[in-house]
Structure 1
């Protein structure tokens, strides 16, 4: 007969604490004892909630990176005029707030052991970015596919900057986005008819 189910709120709290601990120390330097100590519980209690370190890695990475993504989208532009603010501010804000999280996420999802979980996570990202693009399409008057493509380029630039603080890469990516936006605007203006 199965035992009682772990409390969901406590489980989420533990996921966050463990994810922060992983981000601080790295995957290979973080054992169950370090995680349990950070959570203020025993190894046995941590096993009760998650079953194994692998489950904890998988669940904490997916949960916390989805929250990082939510933070990113909460700051996304809501009008065409707001795009430039977003392009200027978000790479630096992302690096400051989430750099260690991105480094850990790539450490996990690039590992052959967890790669399939990374593929599943990014399938969900694709769905969420598409939904966002559809919503923003109505506000900006741009096709959702264009917005989704620009979002991927921008997120990639932000993540790369968060990982490596590479200003040159960031400026080139932002330049490509700005050029694409200018070309889109130019193409979308009504053409004057010859009288």
Structure 2
């Protein structure tokens, strides 16, 4: 991922420290002093590297949420039989590890001030989900477009659970995915006849 910033600093560490601070205190309650203290960089140094607080917000959110996505997909099923493990494990793990991050991401990207950057971020998500689906297609023995669609439903369920710990919504979404998988298996068996 391309990170804007000046040479000589570990930009990824600065972005991570600032993002964690934003997640802890929220958009309105995080000033440059808190960001400076968290990152170990002076206010002037942060402006030197990122140009403005707004640019720092966008870069930190984009970079760190892409890392969350990579972590999520690194735990993807390795076979069709492994799908159930993934369905059971990821919602709770996502809530535990990334709930604050999702809350902050939606705070940023739903703000009118950053909406255009949110659109760009989610265009990138669409590209990456397509790549993940293509990669998983052979492992799971399923078409990539089916996997991509199920990924959207599952990630949405995990994020909703991370935000609100809504077991009912989570279970309804997981049951919809399981029903779809059963129908997929049934269709495949009928095709072989």
Same fold (TM over 0.5): yes
Give TM class, smaller chain.
over 0.9
TM-score (norm 1): 0.94
1:187 counterpart = 2:154: no
Q: Who is 2:115 aligned against?
A: 115
Of 141-150 and 170-179, more deviation after overlay is shown by: 141-150
Q: Which runs of 4+ in 1 moved over 3 A?
A: 190-193
The CA distance in 2 between the partners of 1:38 and 1:141, in whole Å, is 46
Q: Who is 1:81 aligned against?
A: 81
The CA distance in 1 between the partners of 2:57 and 2:167, in whole Å, is 31
1:70 counterpart = 2:60: no
Computing the radius of gyration from Cα coordinates, the structure with the larger value is: 1
The gaps in structure 2 that reach 5 residues or longer are none
The CA distance in 2 between the partners of 1:188 and 1:139, in whole Å, is 16
Q: For residues 148-186 of structure 1, what are the alpha-carbon distances to aligned partners after superposition, in whole Å with 9 as ceiling and x for unaligned?
A: 000000000000000000000000000000000000000
Q: Tell me how many residue pairs correspond in the alignment.
A: 189
State the Cα distance separating 1:191 from its structure 2 match: 4.9
Q: For residues 109-135 of structure 1, what are the alpha-carbon distances to aligned partners after superposition, in whole Å with 9 as ceiling and x for unaligned?
A: 000000110110011110111011111
User: CA 1:9–1:177 in 2, change beyond 3 Å: closer, same or farther?
Assistant: farther
| C-alpha RMSD over aligned residues | 1.3
Q: Who is 2:93 aligned against?
A: 93
The CA distance in 1 between the partners of 2:62 and 2:166, in whole Å, is 26
Q: Who is 2:166 aligned against?
A: 166
Q: Who is 2:134 aligned against?
A: 134
The CA distance in 2 between the partners of 1:74 and 1:51, in whole Å, is 33
